Amino acid sequence: MPKAEKKTTAKTATKSAARSTRVTKSTAAKTTEPAKPVVDDSVFQERLARHADELGRLFSELYSDASALDDLKAAMAEAYAARPDDLKELDAKREADPDWYKRGNMFGMTLYTDLFAGDLKKLADRVPYLEEQKLTYLHLMPLLQMPHPQNDGGYAVEDFDNVDPTLGTNEDLAALTAKLRKAGISLCLDFVMNHTASSHRWAKAAQAGDPEYQDYYFCYDDRTIPDQYDAVVPQVFPGTAPGNFSWNEQMGKWVMTQFYPFQWDLNYRNPKVLVAMLSSALHLANLGVEVLRIDAVPYIWKVLGTNCRNLPQVHTIVRMLRIALECVCPAVVLKGEVVMAPKELAAYFGTEEAPECHMLYNVSIMVNLWSALASQDTRLLKTQIDKLNALPENCWFVNYLRCHDDIGWGLDEDVEEEIGIDPLKHKEFLYHFYEGCVPGSWAMGELYNYDPATKDARSCGTTASLCGVEKALITHDHPSYERALQRDLLMHRAMAFLRGFPMLNCGDEIGQLNGWDYKEDSARVEDSRNLHRSKFDWEKAALREEPGTLQNRLWEGMEGLREMRDDPCFAPDAWTSTWDTHNNAVLAVIRKSGDRTLIGLFNFSGFEQSVHLDGSEGLIARVSTDLKPYEAKLIHL
């Protein structure tokens, strides 16, 4: 093992993670360095003083290691000292406007750097395209250094402090974030907290036999403890990556790998892991990242005899991360990836006194929107919206239809049974419908992770293809094409009307279709999610300015979403609720701010529908109206 590896302690790891944004770690390690300028850290010390008692208490709940707490505070202080002045100015601005991410003008997009532009420098040249859409939020798929080809789409990270060389450098990332800030766009990056790649320097040291780094993971000589975990811990990918442990021949040990064998679960019971990871988060913040999407966060704490999901210690760690950000870089917010039932979600926001995530991905609403479209029945969707609206006011969501991942059909089975729906039959109907295998289906998609034993499966495809655009174009069926466009716009309008802010999947704004050519690529053919992970079609994007084209109609439709959300009823404190339409095919959502009321009516069926909304004194007057197939109608009161 290289000598430098042996010298990596929690303290040196945290210091190196908070380097200046103008250099990478590889260039920072020089024998002589110029004298560092004196930094006024009074603002940082004042922030830290407000949180010091709570931070100390939380740290002691997990660890009895005072020196590790000192290391964390030292890393925070160094990160503050290295933070560029323009980002400190942004910190002050955001502290004065803590609800900035809840404004009605928030409008997001998610994309892969390489598929959209090639690399970070070329992406910076495409910022005008993003400005055209009045974006305020851009989520780039994982771009930190990763192994090739086995990297789970970038979620297997081998260096949390550096950009992958295929995409650019840290300097390129800092330059991009500066250009985006100037355009009013906040950059979001994934921060994979649960695991590292098996090629991470810690994992390499562990494989070489270093016991210090084996303690960064869960490593066991035999199957005794792994078997005890496996007896109660659910499998993430039982079909493609069964079990929760993998045998490492070089190390001669079993290592916990809940996702894939090349992703080693981190042991947060070791305080050195926490200090190093939080330091890397601060390092990304100093490169100009304004939103950290913490990946697979419910999994990060393990206790033998439990299912290792949503344990209390997870919230302790997320709260400490929030404190670190509020002390060093309060402009930065946390977005959690929590694919859990609504009853599990509130905990990840924390409380008003001790907040955790600022916002979460709205996975459940995404799934229920697609379920409502296929079944022409909004009852499950309405119930799910009601449950989310009942969460405390600090709970905020990023709403979306499609992203880099599949559609996992995790519907509320208890509610399904209550209204007479067989959960398994409904799930089978949905994934076969979006596969295009149900009579009357307009969709073209594919299954992902089909399990013949449990009959579980997920669905892949772009929004346009799942809404019927692709099939209509292939069959030259103009009426079907028009209906497909209406479905696409209906889904986007309904999504954008809900509590939270909308995020488009790049390509949906121009109706990009499935990328079936992935089947011709040996490196991609095994993962059907690549169906909706294709290169952005710039030739098709040019058609957005040509009236009557698919691209133009959807582009203008997305502009309509932004115009809709310019209404005062999309203020952060607006009251939002569903309303009974006396028609299962139509969803009604009411937004109210001050004396202004806005009703959104969404017909999820391919037939004309009549709706009747009962009046309520002080809220809305009685409303009766008709809707065309797949129509979204707004009513101002």
Residues contacting residue 385 through CB under 8 Å, at least 6 positions apart = 365, 368, 498, 578, 587, 589
Contact (CB, 8 A) for 345 and 391: yes
Q: How far apart are CA 512 and CA 524, in angstroms?
A: 19
Q: b vs e for 407-417, b when ≥16 Cβ sit within 10 Å of the residue's Cβ?
A: bbbbbbeebbe
Q: How far apart are CA 576 and CA 498, in angstroms?
A: 8
Q: How far apart are CA 265 and CA 263, in angstroms?
A: 6
The 3 state secondary structure assigned to 549-603 is CHHHHHHHHHHHHHHHCCCHHHCCCCEEEEECCCCCCEEEEEEEECCEEEEEEEE
Residues across the chain: 637
Name the one residue in this structure whose structure tokens are 């925070």.
76
Q: b vs e for 326-340, b when ≥16 Cβ sit within 10 Å of the residue's Cβ?
A: bbbbbbbbbbbbbbb
Burial of 165 (0-12, 13-18, 19+ CB in 10 A): exposed
Spatial CA neighbour of 491 closest among 598, 591, 368: 368
Burial of 126 (0-12, 13-18, 19+ CB in 10 A): middle
The C-alpha angle with vertex 188 and arms to 185 and 192, in degrees rounded to 5, equals 175
The C-alpha angle with vertex 592 and arms to 590 and 596, in degrees rounded to 5, equals 120
One of 337, 356, 456, 488 is an active-site residue; which one? 337
Say if residue 547 is preceded by a cis peptide, omega within 30 of 0.
Answer: no
Cα 586 from chain centroid (whole Å): 29
Helix axes 66-82, 271-286, angle to 10 degrees: 10
Residues contacting residue 209 through CB under 8 Å, at least 6 positions apart = 251
One of 78, 158, 295, 377 is an active-site residue; which one? 295
Give the DSSP H/E element, type plus range, for residue 466: helix 463-466
Q: Enter the DSSP assignment of 519.
A: G
Q: Is 337 a catalytic residue?
A: yes
Give the DSSP H/E element, type plus range, for residue 139: strand 137-140
Name the one residue in this structure whose structure tokens are 């939103």.
291
Strand bridging mode 219-220 / 144-145: unpaired
Active site (catalytic) residues: 295, 337
